[in-house]
């Protein structure tokens, strides 16, 4: 039993990771940086924005001897925002599961606060969590460091060890474990690959859940 639940956003509540992968891989190929999708997910998924772009820049310097083009990041943001506005959906069953939870809850995401609000409002989940929506720009260190989850627990006024985290990425699982929290890895997002379950277990996930209906059943049982 837990006193609060902290939800990752991208790939957990909203099916944004599959959109981001599409936009990012296409944009990177356009500047001579071709990645295997599986490798790209393993390395970059769950990183905060600044760390993500810094790692891409380092890769391009190593491969091509030059930094990312100066306009790469703003153009990427424009393309991703368009994809979100036109095609973003919740991960199937997320809203119904959240509605089953009577305990305190929060979102803790690597996304920038402005974009995080935009995405949650797009799928109708903002009001379910506000004001307890915490973003990567609110803390000094992003995932896989524990800062964002500890910040969310403090905002909820709940001890870290009494929090359950729902995550979908290796970096997120590692961050939750470092925070001293129990973490369930959700594999319902459209971005999830066959080998991800083993990687999530290897990162320390306490349980693997295939879809939100499993989580909703657990939430309902807590108040039975």
pLDDT in tens, 138-147: 999 999 999 9
pLDDT above 90 covers a percentage of the chain that reads: 77
Return d(Cα 210, Cα 180) in angstroms, integer: 23
Topology at the third CATH level for domain 17-87: DNA polymerase; domain 1 (1.10.150)
Whether pLDDT at 25 is above 90: yes
What is the value of pTM for the model shown? 0.85
- pLDDT for 37 equals 84
What's the CA gap between 202 and 196, in Å, rounded? 10
Looking at every residue in the chain, the average pLDDT score rounds to 93
Cα–Cα separations (whole angstroms), residue 172 to 9, 87, 88: 11, 24, 21
Given a contact cutoff of 8 angstroms between Cβ atoms, the answer to whether 15 and 89 are in contact is yes
46 pLDDT more than 80: no
| Domain spans of the chain, in order of start | 4-15+89-222, 17-87
Among 3.40.50.1000, 2.40.50.140, 3.90.1150.10, 1.10.1740.10, name the CATH number for the domain at 4-15+89-222. Answer: 3.40.50.1000
Main-chain dihedrals φ then ψ at residue 132, nearest 5 degrees: -90, 65
Residue pLDDT, tens place only, 63-121: 999 999 999 999 988 998 998 899 999 999 999 999 999 999 999 999 889 999 999 99
């Amino acid at each position: 039993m837990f006193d609060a639940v902290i939800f990752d956003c991208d790939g957990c509540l909203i099916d944004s990771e599959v959109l981001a992968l599409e936009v990012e891989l296409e944009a990177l190929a356009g500047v001579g940086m071709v990645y295997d999708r599986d490798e790209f997910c393993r390395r970059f998924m769950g990183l905060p924005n600044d760390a993500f772009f810094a790692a891409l820049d380092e890769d391009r310097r190593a491969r091509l001897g030059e930094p990312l083009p100066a306009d790469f990041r703003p153009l990427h943001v424009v393309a991703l925002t368009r994809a979100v506005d036109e095609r973003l959906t919740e991960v199937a069953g997320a809203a119904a599961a959240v509605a089953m939870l009577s305990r305190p809850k929060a979102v803790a995401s690597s996304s920038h606060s402005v974009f995080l609000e935009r995405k949650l409002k797009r799928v109708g989940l903002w009001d379910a969590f506000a004001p307890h929506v915490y973003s990567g720009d609110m803390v000094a260190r992003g995932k896989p460091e524990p800062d964002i989850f500890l910040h969310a627990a403090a905002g909820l006024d709940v001890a870290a060890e009494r929090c359950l985290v729902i995550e979908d990425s290796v970096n997120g699982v590692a961050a939750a474990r470092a925070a001293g929290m129990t973490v369930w890895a959700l594999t319902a997002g459209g971005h999830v690959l066959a080998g991800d379950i083993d990687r999530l277990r290897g990162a320390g996930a306490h349980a693997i859940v295939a879809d939100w209906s499993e989580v909703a059943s657990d939430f309902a049982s807590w108040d039975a």
